[in-house]
Structure 1
């Protein structure tokens, strides 16, 4: 069996690879052409829906563990992980074709939007290794350590999920 140290190193390397790939995808890769297919333009709404589902699963999973319903907690956390993974696939697909999304609105909403976006991005970077570590600790039944890490993972994951929906709404209403 691998030592925790080895697993945490793998989680760190995997997280860095994912974050590096996403940074390149969004800021350096030009969008690919999809012709007249409008399906790509529907992906931001799909992403917002997946983020909303993730937030719901997280909150209900938190409630489940607080009421000592471990089985429900496990199912809900796995559902949150699955919807987050589906989000990541959809997000990568969208940005592969679309490239970077520009925010063109002016006025009071601009600094609000960029504050939300920047905190969302920074915390999503932190979120990747936290989620993987929290899952690893749960799967290896290291529940005391799992609980300690989850205290940070939960609010960050929830914030990133909720602000993902908020970013979509702001882009739709103001851009």
Structure 2
């Protein structure tokens, strides 16, 4: 496989994934009338996957700093697989669940109490200040992860290191902030 083919493949995968997520979040892809019983557990699964990936990324950094390339590779492959599982679970949740969860909506009626209660207003601003960069960086990290893996598996160390300087902190932020976002929005789930 040539670099040109890989770049095109990464671009196509990235565009398809982002488009799918946008369409699902805008409810432009019809899901089932009734969500399966396991659906409410998917956000918790996603948070657990993100938390595990955060720990694995930090362990991977530790082992590469120790010069242990074998463990570094294995941890990154596991992290990549878990992140892929997260993506499937995330897409599945948004396909199956049609109810919109809004931060500050205690009654489940779509009315945000954050505007009425000062504490929820402040918490909502904090939540959005974490959620917005999480979403933007989650969309941007996919091609970086794919290309980092490509160069790492090919043992093109110079290209891999150069790219991972950006990939690692973004991927780490996305996985860690995903857990924080879940913990903050969990009290407002109505399913």
| Structure-1-length-normalised TM-score | 0.92
Look up the match of 1:80: 79
Distance in 1, matches of 2:99 and 2:63, equals 38
1:99: Cα distance to partner?
3.3
Look up the match of 1:10: 9
SS in 1 for 2:76: helix
Distance in 2, matches of 1:174 and 1:34, equals 20
Size of the aligned set, in residue pairs, is 173
Closer, same or farther in 2 for the Cα pair 1:101/1:153, shift >3 Å? farther
Larger Rg: 2
Q: Which has the higher helix share?
A: 1
CA-atom RMSD in angstroms:
1.6
Look up the match of 1:130: 144
Distance in 2, matches of 1:112 and 1:100, equals 23
The answer to which of 26-35 and 81-90 deviates more is 26-35
Q: Any idea what the Cα deviations from partners look like across 1:9-41, whole Å, max 9, x if unmatched?
A: 221122111111111111133542335x43100
Which consecutive segments of 4 or more residues in structure 1 shift more than 4 A?
none
| Structure-2-length-normalised TM-score | 0.85
User: In the alignment, is residue 112 of structure 1 matched against residue 98 of structure 2?
Assistant: no
Q: Unpaired segments of 5 or more residues in structure 1? A: none
Q: Unpaired segments of 5 or more residues in structure 2? A: 105-113, 115-120
